[in-house]
Every structure is written in C-alpha cells, then in structure tokens.
Amino acid sequence: MSSEGSARPTRDRLYISFLAVHAIATIAIDVQPIAPAALIPTLFKNLMNFYQSVSNDPLMIGASSGDPKYLWFRWFLAHEFIFFLPAYVFGIRGLLRDDPAIYPLLLAYGAAATTTTATCLVDLCFGSDSMSLTTEQFILLLSSYVPFFLIPLIILIDMYLRIATLLKAASKKHKTT
C-alpha cells in the first residue's frame, strides 16, 4: 500500500470494506425493485421481505410497488447498478493496487453517492411517507442510510485532497523542469 504512513492504508482498508459491503447490498437488496423477479434468488427475496417488514422503508416499498411517485428512486437504484456497482469493483481493485488512477472514479462515486443518499435522507425525514414510520423504524432507517451518506462523503473529500496533492506535485515538478 501507500508510503504515506498508516492513516492512508487504514482509510483505504475502510473504503475497500465499505465498497465490498455496498456491492453485496446492491446485488442482494437494492437491485430487486428494478430487476426481473425471475432473476432474483429466493434467498435475496426473503432478505428483502424481512428488511421491508422490519424497517417499513417507504422508498424500497414504493420502488418495489412500481408506484410512479417513486420513479426517481427507481432511477437511483438503476444508477447504483449501472454506475456504482462497477465503481465498487474498480475502486476495490485500484485501492488494493494503490493506483492513483482510481481517484477520479472514486471522487465521482463519492459525489454521486452523497447526492443520491442525501436526497433519500431528506425524503425519509421530511417526506409524507415518514409519518407512517414508528420511532424504531425511523432510527433503523437512519442507521441504514446515514453510513451510505457519510462514508461516500469522506471518500469524496479524501479523493479530492489526494488528486489536489498529486496535481500540485506535478505542477511543481513541471515548473522546475
């Protein structure tokens, strides 16, 4: 890994773990409302049914129902499958190889994930569906969504700083040659 000391490899290990967990969640849960039911393994269907019964997640329930009111969320789920899932795979690979070329992709992922998850959080906190949630369900949903906002935000800031550092070093090197 990196020669920048122990902080960066620790962050990178956190990012790798997070991206792996997010990839599994994407495949097992998040893709279900947009995928043909015949392609979803029974285990994943059971997991989704359990999640929905415990959390009463209005976004996942709404997206699963096909309600046009949740078309925006279905698009977010498609975006997660089309863009985020490959970003997880390439991000893990790039971080394991300590390849700075992965930084722009992870920056883009961080920006997109932070934006989409913030939108979901606003809807969960202030949307009309939040009224049907118990306090326990609301806390469960926040504990489910907030990490998927905060960790991508940290990735976004970290990748920006890494890219800025590389650009400054390249600029400085270019000026001295």
- Does a structural domain hold residue 2? no
* Nearest residue to 26 (alpha-carbon basis) of 53, 50, 57, 47: 47
| pLDDT-based confidence at residue 170 (cuts at 50, 70, 90) | confident
- Does a structural domain hold residue 144? yes
- Does a structural domain hold residue 1? no
pLDDT digits (tens, 9 = 90+) for 7-33: 668 999 999 999 999 999 999 999 999
Q: The pTM is what?
A: 0.90
Find the domain containing 19 and state its range. 7-176
pLDDT at 42 over 90: yes
pLDDT digits (tens, 9 = 90+) for 82-103: 999 999 999 999 999 999 999 9
pLDDT at 133 over 70: yes
pLDDT reported for residue 131: 86
Q: Give me the number of domains the chain comprises.
A: 1
